[in-house]
Structure 1
Amino acid sequence: MLTYAPGESVVHRLDARSKLAFQLGFAAAAFAHPEPDWLAGLAVVAALGLALARLSPVRVFREYWFVFLLLLSSPLVAAVSLSAPWVVPARAVDPLLAVSRVGLILFVSAVYVRTTPVRETRAAIQRHVPGKTGRLLGVGVALTLRFVPVLTRDLRSVRDAIRARGGENRSVVDRGRRLGTVGLSRALERADRLSVALRARCFSWNPTPPEMTFSRVDYAVLAVGVGLGIAGLVPVVAGVAGGLVPVVVGLVG
């Protein structure tokens, strides 16, 4: 699973807040415009982000192959018919456009995870969400980003151990049961050790955050993110307004 890796790329030097704003704007633009031309433009933007972060798209595919497999299964299933003709490619167009949006957002999210330290993500959240809510949300995100990769490595090691002991000759149900049991046991052990480690280190709800400053490049990235968000929200707002106008006119009349 992808985790933060120190680097000297352009994206590494960006402020976490500008990258978060860009992600939100990109997601809004992707979901609001399902047109192929628009998605192709967003794909170019995502590819540029991968290049600037020095992150290979093949690496993202390899790390999230199961997610991409689930996404691609939707258009494949939609194209299959229970009667002649057995395959109708036209049915796969809309599902393919829908899953393409999710895939593009996943690529952009991978760039963020790879180039942003967890403590900066926590600091960015706590600065803009006031009170205990922000601190709780920041701690939750920080622990999740650190804990999930560890659990993933544990599951892989358990799977490798099962294979080394001839587990491939067992049924899928038996292998799944063993993997789930041992994986859950290790997850609970990890949680207990994490709790002890936090107490031993005098865990603070409000630690001193890292210094965060905006550069000219950050303002440019923020502007692009806001622009994408506006481009995504304008059609939605226009559609809602267009639907309310006849209702208001009817009530007034």
Structure 2
Amino acid sequence: MSTYTPGESFAHRLDPRSKLAVQAGFAVAALAHTTVPGLAVLTGVCAAILLAARTHPARALADLRLLLPFLVLLPVVEGATLGPPWFSVADARAPALASYRTLLVVLVSVAYVRTTPVRESRAAVQRLVPGKPGRVLGTGVALVFRNLAVFRGDLRRAREASAARLGDERPLVDRMRLVATAGLARALGRTETLSLAMRARCLSWNPTLPPLALARVDVPVLALACTLFTWGLL
């Protein structure tokens, strides 16, 4: 799973609100244009976004390796038939386009996560959503971004510990049960520790957040977001 990576790319210099606007516009356009020509245009936009974030497509796909099997499996299942010809391309076409559309949207999200610090994401959310709802949503976004990679690391260590004890020789169902149980136990333990730490530090609903300011570099990005919104809505 992607995490923030410090850098000097064009995307790193952007205001997080303009990047969120591009994400939203891209998602709207992707939902509206599911044809091959539309997805071809969105592919070019996605490639430009990854280039601006200095994120190699192979690295981004590696971050999504847990999602890719599901995206590939959907058109395969839809196209499979119980008799000759055993696979229908016509039935698999729409799910394949939907899976590819989902992949493009997630790749754009990877570029955002890799170029935006958690504190800036929280600040952007709280400025876009005023009042207590924005503070609650911003806190939730910060906690998810900070702890998702930690929980994934716990699962990886549980799997490695099971393999060190010859757990890889057990049936698949037993391996899944052992890793899931260990991962859930660690997640619950970390949740209790996090709750205690938040109370000990007197968690503030209105912390001092980093200042955000739109600059000249955000102008073409906001123009791109408006173009994507307009294209999607029309």
Query: Is TM (by shorter chain) over 0.5?
Result: yes
3-state SS in 2 of match to 1:160 = helix
Q: How far did 1:11 drift?
A: 0.3
The superposition leaves residues 187-223 of structure 1 with CA deviations (integer Å, 9 ceiling, x where unpaired) of 0111111112222323210011101111112121011
RMSD of aligned alpha carbons: 1.1
2:64 is equivalent to residue 64 of structure 1? yes
The superposition leaves residues 19-61 of structure 1 with CA deviations (integer Å, 9 ceiling, x where unpaired) of 0000000000001011111111111111111112111111122
2:31 is equivalent to residue 31 of structure 1? yes
Q: Which has the larger radius of gyration?
A: 1
2:136 is equivalent to residue 144 of structure 1? no
Give the structure 2 partner of residue 174 of structure 1. Answer: 174
Q: How far did 1:133 drift?
A: 0.6
Moved more, 69-78 or 26-35: 69-78
Aligned length: 234
TM-score (norm: length of structure 1): 0.90
Q: How far did 1:64 drift?
A: 1.2
Q: Between the two proteins, what is the percent identity of the paired residues?
A: 51
The superposition leaves residues 68-116 of structure 1 with CA deviations (integer Å, 9 ceiling, x where unpaired) of 1101111112222111111222222111111111000010000000000
What are structure 2's unaligned runs of at least 5 residues?
none
Q: How far did 1:228 drift?
A: 0.4
3-state SS in 2 of match to 1:65 = coil
Aligned structure 1 segments of 4 or more residues deviating by more than 4 angstroms: none
Q: How far did 1:172 drift?
A: 1.4
The superposition leaves residues 234-253 of structure 1 with CA deviations (integer Å, 9 ceiling, x where unpaired) of 2xxxxxxxxxxxxxxxxxxx
Q: How does 1:74-89 map to 2 (within 5 A)?
A: 74-89=74-89
TM-score (norm: length of structure 2): 0.97
Question: What amino acid is aligned across from residue 198 of structure 2 in structure 1?
Answer: L
Q: Distance in 1 between matches of 2:158 and 2:133?
A: 36
Q: Distance in 2 between matches of 1:85 and 1:157?
A: 44
Question: What amino acid is aligned across from residue 35 of structure 2 in structure 1?
Answer: E
